[in-house]
Amino acid sequence: MRPLSFFLFLIAAALAHAAPDYAREKRWADEVTPGLVVGDAVYLAQKSGHKFLAIYTAAAPAGAAVITVHGSGVHPDWALIGALRSQLADAGYATLSVQMAVLAADAKADAYPPLFPDAADRLQAAVAFLKAKGHRKIAIASHSLGARMSNFFLAGTPDHGVAAWISIGVSSGEFADAGKLRLPVLDIYGERDFPQVLQQANARAAVLKTLKGSAQIEVAGADHFFAGHEGELVRQVKQFLDLRLK
C-alpha cells in the first residue's frame, strides 16, 4: 500500500471507529422507554436526519426548563441523570433528558471527542424543542463526559440559547475554551471524585470568578457518580437554578 493510501486508510478507520453506535442507542431506547414512569419519550431529529431519544417532562405553566446530559455510554434515565430529570420536574422545572451518541461498550472516554460535534447538534435540537414548547429560559445540567460535550456546545455555539450550565464532575477536570463561556456556571463535584476532577478544582474556580453568577460546590462524601448522594445533588442544582432562572 502506498504511503498516502495507507494514511487515508488510517483516517477512514479512525473515523469509522468514532462513528455513533446507532444500534446500541436503539437497544438503550428499547430498554428505557417501556419502563418510564415520569416523562414521555420523544424523538428529536439531527441535521443528518438521525432521530434520537429524549425524555420530556412538562411543567405547568411552561417556564424554565433543564436539559440533562448523561456521561459516556449510558442513557437519559441513568442513575443520577434519572434522579435529576424527575426530581427537578417535581420542583417545577420542565426537563428534557437527551440520549447522547454512544460508542461500543468497551470504548474508552478518550475515544469520544470526535463525537463532540454530534453532541452539539443534539443539544441544539434539544434547545429548539424546548423553545417550541414555550420555555423562556433553558439550562443544561450535564455529568462527566456529558459535561465535556456540553462545554464544547456552549463554547462553540455563540447563539446557543442557554441561560445557565451545571457541570457535574466534568471528566477532563477542566473547562475547555473557558474564555468563550459567557453564562453562569455551577461546578459541582464529589469529595471522592475522580483525581483529575479534584486536582483541577482550583483552576476551574479561577474560571468561575470571571463568569458572573457562577459557583463551585464540593459535596461531602460523594463519589463521581453521587451514589447515595443524589438528593443533595438535586438540592444544590435546584438552589442554583432558582437563583439564575426565576
pLDDT at residue 3 greater than cutoff 70: no
Residue 152's domain is classified under what CATH number? 3.40.50.1820
pTM value is 0.91
At 44-55, the pLDDT tens digits run 999 999 999 999
Q: With respect to residue 2, please indicate whether it lies within any of the assigned structural domains.
A: no
Q: With respect to residue 7, please indicate whether it lies within any of the assigned structural domains.
A: no
Domain that holds residue 59: 20-245
* CA dihedral for 19, 82, 130, 29, sign (positive or negative): positive
For range 82-94, the mean pLDDT: 96
Q: With respect to residue 150, please indicate whether it lies within any of the assigned structural domains.
A: yes
Q: With respect to residue 12, please indicate whether it lies within any of the assigned structural domains.
A: no
Q: How many structural domains is the chain composed of?
A: 1
End-to-end CA distance of the chain: 62
> Rounded to 5 degrees, what angle do the CA atoms 110, 145, 134 make?
140
pLDDT at residue 9 greater than cutoff 80: no
Q: Rg of the chain over CA atoms, in angstroms?
A: 18
pLDDT above 90 covers a percentage of the chain that reads 86
Q: With respect to residue 140, please indicate whether it lies within any of the assigned structural domains.
A: yes
